[in-house]
Amino acid sequence: MEEKPELLQLYELQYSDLILLSSNKSPPSTEEIRRMESVSETVMQTLGPTGPGLLSIVGVPKASILRKTLLPLARKLSLLNNDDRKLVLKEHNLGSDVPLKDLDRIVSSFAMQMKYEQRTSDGVNKKMEGKFEDEEFKNLGSVFKELGFCMMELGLCLAQICDKVIGGHELEQSLLQSGTAKGRLIHYHSPIDNFFIKEAAKRKGPRISEVNLGNEVKLCDDKKLDLWQQWHYDYGIFTVLTAPMFMLSNSNHELEYENPSDHTYLQILDPEKNRVLMVKASMESFIFQVGESADVLSKGMLRATLHCVCRPKKMKNLSRETFVVFLQPAWSKTFHLSDHPMERLTSSSQDSESCTEGTHGAEKDSNGLTQNSLQLVPPLHSRLKDGMTFAEFSRVTTKQYYGSSGLQPNR
């Protein structure tokens, strides 16, 4: 019998406190001033060197309706035939950064670059005559942008809170100077989804609902499929995620499945606790992860989060949907390492080793976590040199993870 993973219940920062802390307004009373100071201290401890490097924001207006509207479209888009999907993506100014023609892909991603200067616009898409039309996709682009701009604003507010403690305006200005953020609507495939895709391709593109599941489904038990996404650090400033939505599906219908395992399947390495932890978050929250750029720009006062996305072993028809916004510096931003703790630049592989030595039973319940898995994470000192621009850091990081001689497959 498998042991349950150790859970990390995320610290929840109330939206109202986020707004108050990021503003220049003084709290109305001494008691409220003390409370806000305590909240700010907790935020920095949570995102800092002794914390897990991630938190959640709750109570955001319209978050629930936007999430419930957008996330189910991830699976629907993923399972469309290629021709129809191209038309939908073009109509809503979306692209993809994964090979959607690969029938064995386990992740589908639909992306858009969003500009800070446009975040106050209404985001309405114009209809393109003579193109693929479907009622379920009619609001795809507008909801994508509305939710994305909301998450960008949350990121700016959190950057302002951190800057007040760190000193200066480095994080906020780095985000604004970049001008853009990348939004991704992501579908993590169930094994059943890939069966549908292959069967539909054989029939030259019927709707997935027209494919008969039958009794001949052969599901792969390859250990590499224990993870939807391999262990890695994000290398931007903040990564903002909706709490994931899980879908149970067969050939005829799909149904949201709330809390299949009472966690998000997002797994982190917490080096301070010497543990691998499974993240638990409320359904209507936004999850914030610290990236390596924030780690460096904050002079080590924030700590990047090493994480992966696990795939359930037994539920072969369970998929995972989420929406992510990557907040990063301008490509021309130059990194200076003189004020950054040197041990942090070289600690990635050592943290990984100490963790796997101390996990014992947790090693078995973390979806195949082994020392070899964590050795696939290139340490920061091998990717970032003093005076590098963010563009250079991005290229080197991508190459070391996913290049022809990289540590991880480019899936």
Instruction: Give the pLDDT confidence of 70-89 residue by residue, as tens digits.
Output: 999 999 999 998 899 999 99
Please, what is the Cα angle at 334 between 330 and 339, to 5 degrees? 125
- pLDDT at residue 158 in the model: 99
Q: pLDDT (tens digit, 9 = 90+) per residue, 293-311?
A: 999 999 999 999 999 999 9
Q: Greater confidence, 142 or 344? A: 142
**How high does pLDDT run on average in the chain?**
84
Measured over the CA atoms of residue 161, residue 163, residue 169 and residue 173, the dihedral's sign is negative
d(CA 213, CA 39): 51
Could you identify the residue written with the tokens 């003084």?
A: 26
Query: Is the per-residue pLDDT at 109 higher than 80?
Result: yes
- pLDDT at residue 53 in the model: 95
For 113, the token pair is 């670059």
Tell me the pTM.
Answer: 0.87
d(CA 252, CA 331): 46
Three-class secondary structure of residue 73 per DSSP: helix
**What radius of gyration do the chain's Cα atoms show?**
21
Residues above pLDDT 70, as percent of the chain: 79
What are the structural domains, with CATH classification, of the chain? Answer: 7-380 (2.60.120.330)
CB atoms within 10 A of CB 304: 24
Name the residue among 221, 78, 70, 229 with its Cα closest to residue 148: 70
DSSP assignment of 318-361:
EEEEEEEEEE---TTPBP--TTS-HHHHS-HHHHHHHHHHHHTT
d(CA 2, CA 38): 39
Q: Cβ distance 407 to 352 under 8 Å?
A: no
